[in-house]
Every structure is written in structure tokens, then in C-alpha cells.
């Protein structure tokens, strides 16, 4: 009976370790990659008639817009803001103003 209990404990430990190794947590998208947005975020942002602001910097994923650029919230969806910069719609992190996707 003791051998069965030890074998079961060993199997549980091994399977737990294997599961932990297969779990991937992405905390920061690659600057050249793009984030998969919920469909309602993209739809909402594309339907808005937000005036464009002029910005001299690069409009690329990973760039941080200055605090002077007004970021609008997306209703009922946390973690996404948007603005229009140089006639390009961008999705940003509301707290940091970091661009997470440029909509084309």
C-alpha cells in the first residue's frame, strides 16, 4: 500500500511539473508584433470620429505617446485606450500611453 501511495505522489509531482512548464505567460508583446484585440475594441475605435493630433515621433508598437496626447477609453473593456495620431488610429495602454497596436 505504501508503494502505491509513493507512486501516486510521484506521478502527481511529475505531472504538475510538466503542466507548469507548458504554461506561458506573456507580459509584454514584442515591439514588432501586434496584440490580438477583442473584436468589440477594434469595431468601437474604428467607428469613432475622434480628431487627429499631430505628433513628431514614430507611430509604432512599443512607442510611448506624451501625456499631452488625450487617450480615450473604450467603454466596458478594461486595459485598452485609443487615440488618433497623424491620422492613424492607435490602441494604447491607458495608464502608460504605450502604443500596443496601430490600426490600418
Q: How many structural domains compose the chain?
A: 1
Dist CA 88 CA 45 (whole Å): 11
Residue 75, domain member (yes or no): yes
Dist CA 40 CA 74 (whole Å): 9
Residue 4, domain member (yes or no): no
Within 10 A of 94 (CB to CB), how many other CB atoms are there?
15
18, 21, 23, 28 alpha-carbon torsion, rounded to 10°? 180
Residue 87 corresponds to which cell in the numbers above? Answer: 491620422
Give tens-digit pLDDT for 9-55: 555 555 444 444 433 333 344 444 556 788 899 999 999 999 999 99
Residue 48, domain member (yes or no): yes
pTM of the model as a whole: 0.65
- Mean pLDDT within 50-71: 95
pLDDT at 4 over 50: yes
Give tens-digit pLDDT for 83-99: 999 999 999 999 999 99
For 98, phi then psi, to 5°, come to: -80, 130
Question: What domain range includes position 75?
Answer: 31-102
Residue 8, domain member (yes or no): no
Amino acid at each position: 500500500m505504501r508503494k502505491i501511495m509513493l507512486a501516486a505522489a510521484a506521478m502527481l509531482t511529475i505531472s504538475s511539473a510538466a503542466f507548469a512548464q507548458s504554461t506561458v505567460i506573456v507580459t509584454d508583446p514584442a515591439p514588432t508584433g501586434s496584440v490580438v484585440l477583442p473584436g468589440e475594441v477594434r469595431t468601437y475605435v474604428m467607428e469613432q470620429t475622434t480628431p487627429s493630433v499631430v505628433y513628431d515621433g514614430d507611430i509604432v508598437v512599443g512607442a510611448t505617446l506624451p501625456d499631452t496626447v488625450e487617450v480615450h477609453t473604450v467603454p466596458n473593456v478594461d486595459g485598452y485606450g485609443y487615440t488618433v495620431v497623424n491620422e492613424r488610429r492607435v490602441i494604447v495602454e491607458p495608464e502608460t500611453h504605450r502604443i500596443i497596436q496601430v490600426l490600418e
